[in-house]
A and B are shown apart, each in its own frame.
Chain A
Amino acid sequence: MANDLINSFMSGPDENGRFGIFGGRFVSETLMPLILELEAQYERAKTDPEFWAEMDDLWKYYVGRPSPLYYAERLTEELGGAKIYLKREELNHTGAHKINNVLGQILLARRMGKTRIIAETGAGQHGVATATVCAKFGLKCIVYMGATDVERQAPNVFRMRLLGAEVVPVTSGRGTLKDAMNDAMRDWVTNVHDTFYCIGTVAGPHPYPAMVRDFQAIIGKETRWQLEEQEGEGRLPDTIVAAVGGGSNAMGLFYPFLDDPSVNIIGVEAGGHGVDDRMEHCASLTGGRPGVLHGNRTYLLQDEDGQILEGHSISAGLDYPGIGPEHSWLHDTGRASYVSVTDKEALEAFQLLCRTEGIIPALESSHAVAHVQKIAGGLPKDHIIVINLSGRGDKDIYTVAKFLGFDMSDTEGRTAD
């Protein structure tokens, strides 16, 4: 598909929930009436000023929006090229962009009279955000989390439990985000009458990919006026960069810029141990092909029989064999480009940001920083890059310490050998 045949990149999805061939509603019949009802409710809410007034109020006073757009001066100097801004989503309440979307979905759930909220989580950021908003509104919250992730994201598991959520470790498959999503859908199909499924990313059956994108688009909308405020009226970023697992923080930043052709859009996938035949990565676009999973058609890591592969990433939040369908479409149309960085490169970028800016980024967001680390030096000083710093890295310190050979139990702070 050539770009000049498309009038707007912001008009999708169509009435069948498709972005080109991607997206759709590939769910069992039991769930169909529920997602049709959700779609109808969302369509009503979308044009209801009262709904958005409530969102704006919560975003401002509960989440702390707008999140700053911060000129990263020392990082810019260190890399010696493009001027780098960070969109500070890690400063949101609960420490990541996830809460932007959760608030929207929980307000919808309340309008629909649902009292029991379920969610899947990988790194635990979406689980924590959901548990948080459920606590605020007094709703029952059940979070499905792969057993592997329960182990590697222990601080977030404890946070969710403190917030009153029930965390269910999922042992099927390899015990990561994909398996958590399967079990959340099994719960939903069993408890259809009182349960709302709060999906954490721009994937799943229609209307989730569009709805989650719309709630996250606040990131890009703010970036637009904040950059003008600092760089002058009409100044757009030249390049915007975000990490992509399912892809919600990336869609949130990208969406408001899709129809600005001068803005170069880059999504960074998790390259794990390297994107090659060993499939030890989670780069669905660079290393997968189209398939159907979790309610939508999108690029997936799969074998030649169409069985889904597990993939690998050091970052639990990116450890998913699929990607939101709109990203698949942006990839195929060429409007956005997608690259991958390895675990090792992400860990280097993690440390770089700690040392140059005093910001500990999430391992997920470190992937975006790592790609900028590769390209910034070759770009002119008036080239503006915006990185979506989607989450903070406190939850990752154990993983990083282990990788760096630092013994966390040693109170003297010595390095383990």
Chain B
Amino acid sequence: MAKPKPRVKVPKKATKGEIVEIKTLISHKMESGQRKDRKTGELIPRKIINKFQAKFNGADVFNVNIEPALSANPFLTFSVKVPESGEFEFIWTDDDGSTYSTKKKIAVEG
């Protein structure tokens, strides 16, 4: 499988204290561990993103513990109140221990 590719939408600008909406998506199969291989009849082992974290200037602002019931290509929308300019960091953790991350800057005026 291709390397999961994170995609994040953060507004470039905001006013101080504004609540901004952040949309995130990562391409991932989210194999639930419930499906069977059609040829062998064996269960396909579970392989999902089990954790998503959003950090702002290093501080944890939002995180989600994910179970297999989340759809393939997990899509999450949430909001953050931005007090100052800074950088968001988004981290996805896979069942096999690898992490995928991306960063986005936001400029806060006023």
- Chains A and B form a bound pair: no
Residues of A whose CB lies within 8 Å of any CB of B are: none
